[in-house]
Amino acid sequence: MARIPTAPVAAGTLIAGYAVAVASGSRPLGGVVLLIGGGWCARAWSARHDPRTAMTLTTVGLIAFIASHVLGAQIGAWPAVLLVAALAGTIVWVRADLREPAAPAALALRPPAR
């Protein structure tokens, strides 16, 4: 079974978190979405990569969250969220998903060569 790439989850979590906050009128509820998605990503990075990579990518997500608030005042909330989600997703794709360790090869049972 193939592993789920983390870049779409990381980017989608930022978008979904904001969408939930706007739709529900509850910023804390949007934060719960961010915690769940961010936690899943951090756990996946920790399991698949070294601790430095996991911490770096978790920091990228946190910076994206902060940047969306700063940019929101300049370009609008939705454009800011979409922009930082795209940037964070790209960084995660390059730093984690493209460097994903290869799955172990299946054991092939063949008769000995003659």
Q: What is the pLDDT of residue 99?
A: 81
CB atoms within 10 A of CB 68: 23
Query: How many Å from the N-terminal Cα to the C-terminal Cα in the chain?
Result: 34
Which tens digit of pLDDT belongs to each residue from 90-104?
999 999 999 876 555
- Find out whether 7 and 93 touch, Cβ atoms under 8 Å: yes
Is position 29 within any domain? yes
Is position 107 within any domain? no
Nearest-angstrom CA–CA distance, 97 and 95:
7
With pLDDT > 70 as the criterion, what percentage of the chain qualifies?
87
Cβ neighbours of residue 12 closer than 8 Å, sequence gap 6 or more? 37, 85
Is position 33 within any domain? yes
Q: What is the pLDDT of residue 100?
A: 74
Question: How confident is residue 28, by pLDDT bands cut at 50, 70 and 90?
Answer: very high
Q: What is the pLDDT of residue 11?
A: 98
Cβ neighbours of residue 63 closer than 8 Å, sequence gap 6 or more? none
At 44, the amino acid letter reads: A
Which tens digit of pLDDT belongs to each residue from 44-79?
999 999 999 999 999 999 999 999 999 999 999 999
Q: What is the pLDDT of residue 24?
A: 98
Is position 63 within any domain? yes
Is position 112 within any domain? no
Is position 62 within any domain? yes
Nearest-angstrom CA–CA distance, 65 and 88:
10
Question: How confident is residue 105, by pLDDT bands cut at 50, 70 and 90?
Answer: low
Which tens digit of pLDDT belongs to each residue from 9-23?
999 999 999 999 999
Is position 87 within any domain? yes
Residue numbers of the domain that contains 82: 6-97
Domain count for the chain: 1
Is position 110 within any domain? no
* 3-class DSSP string for 1-22: CCCCCHHHHHHHHHHHHHHHHH
